[in-house]
Amino acid sequence: MEKDMVSALPKEEEEVKGVGGGLIERETEEDDTVKSQGVKESRLNSGSGCNCNATKLKSTSVAVRERDYFQSGHPKKKLTRQERVELGRLFQGAVSSYDWDLAQSLISLADPQALNDALCITLDSIWFLTTQQELDGVTTLIHNIIANGAYDFTRAALRTSFLASCVSACHSRTMTPAATVTIMAQRLHERLHECNGDEILKAEAGAKFQKFTEWALKCIDCHSRCRENNTDRVGHSSAVEIQLQLSAFKTFLDLAGNQLIGKDFTEAFDAACFPLTLFSSSFDPSWASGISATAIHGLLGMLVEGGADNVSQCFLEASRFGSTELVRILLQIAQRNSLDIDVDLALGFASHYCKIGTMECLVEEGNAIAFLGPLMRAAERGCMQVVEWFMKRGCRDMELCLALTAATSSSQVDVAAFLLPHVPQHVLEALSTEILKAAGERSGGSLDGVAFLLRSDFLGDPTATYAVADAIARSDDEAVAPELKCFLREHWSEAAFVDGLRLGQEHYMNIVRILKWSGCPICLRDLPPPLRVTIAYLPLYRECVEAGGCLLSQRLRGQLVEAVRRLDGRVLKEVGQGRELVAALEHHLPPFLLHSSFQSCLLARNLA
């Protein structure tokens, strides 16, 4: 059994760092003993059986403590790599089987590095305690290991925090360890993909973290099989058992004393939170409020009391990646310890990545109220799901108007069409000019959103809609984007209507010239009238159908007015007669061409 755990270890010492950036950095300790050939286990894991976090580069203080160990009457011999591996294997077996006498006897054979390994092994075992007798045995063992010279408390705290997180998460799961590794690897890949940085570094980080995960799950499986007669699932701990486990961790912190500083607690807090962000997609609903999360609640709470100052950072990270249950836990920890966390900023992160469940948690349990920024950004990106969610939660009139402007400026026509009916008419009328000007200024080159608002008759009155477009087109205001002015002047101004009439007249005269003097072998005058009209005006009809909406642009309206005057002798110049103009033109076209034109326009829209 212990051999399974040893074989699962990474080959080098590594450290999970930078939860905020989602990257894991590798650091190898400069120790001649780790260079022994043919040995797969790292110094961190030498005979340890379990290794979930990395140690740091050996600092001056660590080297001094190791020197002091040998100068204070402890054994002078420094174990070889192979000896340390074998000692660790034996020690792991003793701890796993709760043979405290054997474990105590092995301590006397250990050098400083092996003592540090033993401290990690013993501390890892606390998350599997079930009885007071086991607690007494473990705490006594920890005390003796430290008394004999173990000093790497940072490493022990980091890796046991990582393991505790995995244990708490696995209590809520029903998947096999292999499936768990696959899911976490996929989530890590997605997370790293969203981060900036060197691709090679990110690939290495993913591979390292997968090793950590595999180690943690095999460690859990090993301890589980010790208790459950070869089952492959961690049993659910009772409230009493969890209190025993937390008591053991508290004892370790008390024994470590000022050897652990605020930075150590902060890194341990990172190590505990990071796996939970990856497990979160498979958590049971309300996991954070159940017995399974009690241990991680207690662990994180003690780390905060010790000096961890990154609760807010981890909270934002969890919100960004949709780790709703971790968000819920961190909310409770922040409230319990009177810590300041920005729930509104977290809501912005969650909405940006469309984490609806996390958004619900932040609003209902975190009392987030700043909807405007996230709503506008969702509208600008065209994220309909998030926009609809904010709508259902209730938005103020001005928030809806600004979201409509954001969708219009980025040409998110579907979102704009969804929002437009919800913006009160009096708000649109009061801010119509500002809406169009702002949308044009932020358009980024595409004015499809502006065209949509105008075609939709967003003011509910064709005269008013045409008038506001004409006013902007003729404006001398330098703040108006030149592209917007040009677009409105060309298509939606009074001048565009006059230009449309002129184009219609020229087109009609060209058709007449062709009918009278064309040298084409096919004599157009001999064709049936519907076909002659089709040749002359089918392109204009198709353009009107494809444009869609309640209003035609002034340019198209001018061309239609002239076409209908030539065909019917009627003059339909009223701004609200757009549909009548199209119907009048349809009357002169063959029905089969009308149907095919309509279908062609639909197909073109779908392809676009």
pLDDT tens readout for residues 318-367? 999 888 889 999 999 999 999 999 999 999 999 999 999 999 999 999 99
Assess whether pLDDT exceeds 50 at residue 271.
Answer: yes
Least confident window among 46-50, 102-106, 285-289, 522-526: 46-50
Q: 315 or 523: whose pLDDT is higher?
A: 315
* pLDDT the model gives residue 518: 61
pLDDT-derived band of residue 8, with 50, 70 and 90 as boundaries?
very low
Assess whether pLDDT exceeds 60 at residue 19.
Answer: no
Please tell me which of 279-288, 428-437, 442-451 the model is most confident about, judged by mean pLDDT: 428-437
**pTM of the shown model:** 0.76
Residues in the chain, total:
608
Q: How many CB atoms lie within 10 A of CB 520?
A: 7
Find out whether 177 and 232 touch, Cβ atoms under 8 Å: yes
pLDDT-derived band of residue 177, with 50, 70 and 90 as boundaries?
low
The model's pLDDT over 64-74, given as tens digits with 9 standing for 90+, comes to: 444 444 444 44
* pLDDT the model gives residue 153: 96
Please give the average per-residue pLDDT across 470-485, as a whole number. Answer: 91
Give the CA distances from residue 254 to residues 136, 145, 218, 248, in Å, rounded to whole numbers and listed in that order: 15, 14, 29, 10
- Which SS3 state, helix, strand or coil, does residue 408 take? helix
* pLDDT the model gives residue 3: 38
Please give the average per-residue pLDDT across 485-504, as a whole number. Answer: 94
Least confident window among 158-162, 167-171, 260-264, 520-524: 520-524
First to last CA, the chain: 61
* pLDDT the model gives residue 288: 66
The model's pLDDT over 295-330, given as tens digits with 9 standing for 90+, comes to: 889 999 999 999 999 999 999 999 998 888 899 999
The model's pLDDT over 209-248, given as tens digits with 9 standing for 90+, comes to: 777 777 777 777 777 766 654 344 344 568 899 999 999 9
Please tell me which of 23-32, 264-273, 545-554 the model is most confident about, judged by mean pLDDT: 264-273
* pLDDT the model gives residue 5: 34
Q: Which long-range contacts (CB under 8 A, 24 or more apart) does 258-262 make?
A: 259/151, 259/153, 260/153, 260/154, 260/157, 260/306, 261/307, 262/306, 262/307, 262/308, 262/309
Assess whether pLDDT exceeds 90 at residue 250.
Answer: yes
pLDDT-derived band of residue 156, with 50, 70 and 90 as boundaries?
very high
Find out whether 77 and 34 touch, Cβ atoms under 8 Å: no
Of residues 49, 71, 168, 70, the one with CA closest to residue 117 = 49
* pLDDT the model gives residue 264: 96
Percent of the chain with pLDDT over 90: 49
Kindly report the average pLDDT of the chain as a whole number. Answer: 79
The model's pLDDT over 373-387, given as tens digits with 9 standing for 90+, comes to: 999 999 999 999 999
Percent of the chain with pLDDT over 70: 75
Alpha helices in 2-128 (DSSP H): 2-7, 60-71, 81-96, 100-107, 112-124
Find out whether 436 and 450 touch, Cβ atoms under 8 Å: yes
pLDDT-derived band of residue 57, with 50, 70 and 90 as boundaries?
very low
Least confident window among 44-53, 162-171, 556-565: 44-53
* pLDDT the model gives residue 203: 74
Assess whether pLDDT exceeds 70 at residue 595.
Answer: no
pLDDT-derived band of residue 274, with 50, 70 and 90 as boundaries?
confident
Please give the average per-residue pLDDT across 551-556, as a whole number. Answer: 92
- Which SS3 state, helix, strand or coil, does residue 67 take? helix
* pLDDT the model gives residue 485: 92
Assess whether pLDDT exceeds 70 at residue 42.
Answer: no
Assess whether pLDDT exceeds 80 at residue 608.
Answer: no
Please give the average per-residue pLDDT across 287-300, as a whole number. Answer: 81
Measured CA to CA, the distance from residue 71 to residue 55 in angstroms comes to: 24
* pLDDT the model gives residue 586: 84
Measured CA to CA, the distance from residue 14 to residue 209 in angstroms comes to: 9
Q: Is 61 exposed, middle or buried (0-12, 13-18, 19+ CB in 10 A)?
A: exposed
Q: 475 or 57: whose pLDDT is higher?
A: 475
Q: 389 or 20: whose pLDDT is higher?
A: 389
* pLDDT the model gives residue 179: 61
Measured CA to CA, the distance from residue 19 to residue 162 in angstroms comes to: 12
Strand partners, 25: 15
pLDDT-derived band of residue 176, with 50, 70 and 90 as boundaries?
low
Please tell me which of 39-48, 75-84, 86-95, 519-528 the model is most confident about, judged by mean pLDDT: 86-95
Domain map (residue ranges) of the chain: 81-151, 152-228+235-369, 373-492, 527-593
Assess whether pLDDT exceeds 90 at residue 418.
Answer: yes
Assess whether pLDDT exceeds 70 at residue 569.
Answer: yes
Q: How many CB atoms lie within 10 A of CB 186?
A: 12
